[in-house]
């Protein structure tokens, strides 16, 4: 996850296969958990989702290109790994 948005009709920013994408969150139950404070986000968190990709035909390139992204279902929220803090012994 790159950018989390707490308003329902705004797009979130993610990295998908190395490319930054903007996706609408359509999972209402997940969004309600966010609103209730049941889920908190930190930099480096990840989501496992069902992602729908809408494509349009680009006549100039004669191929379909990705146009819109929709998160239909959040399967898992993976918090970033906690940072381990080590103490240093400077007295030796």
| Single pTM value for the model | 0.75
Give the closest residue to 26 by CA, choosing from 14, 48, 11: 11
pLDDT one-digit tens code per residue, 3-38: 777 776 789 898 999 999 999 999 999 989 988 999
Which pLDDT band holds residue 40 (cuts at 50, 70, 90)?
confident
Please say if the pLDDT value at position 81 is more than 90.
no
Give the Cα separation of 75 and 63 in Å (integer): 31
Which pLDDT band holds residue 89 (cuts at 50, 70, 90)?
low
The number of beta carbons lying within 10 Å of the beta carbon of residue 12 is: 18
Identify the DSSP state of 83: P
Domain boundaries along the sequence of the chain: 11-78
Instruction: Name the strand (E) or helix (H) holding 69.
Output: strand 63-78
């Amino acid at each position: 996850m790159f950018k989390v948005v707490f308003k329902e009709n705004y797009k979130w920013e993610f990295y998908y296969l190395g490319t930054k994408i903007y996706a609408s969150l359509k999972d209402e139950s997940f969004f309600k958990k966010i609103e209730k404070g049941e889920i908190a986000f930190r930099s480096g968190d990840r989501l496992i989702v069902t992602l729908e990709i809408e494509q349009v035909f680009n006549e100039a390139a004669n191929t379909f290109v990705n146009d819109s992204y929709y998160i239909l279902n959040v399967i898992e929220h993976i918090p970033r790994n906690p940072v381990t803090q080590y103490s240093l012994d400077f007295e030796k």
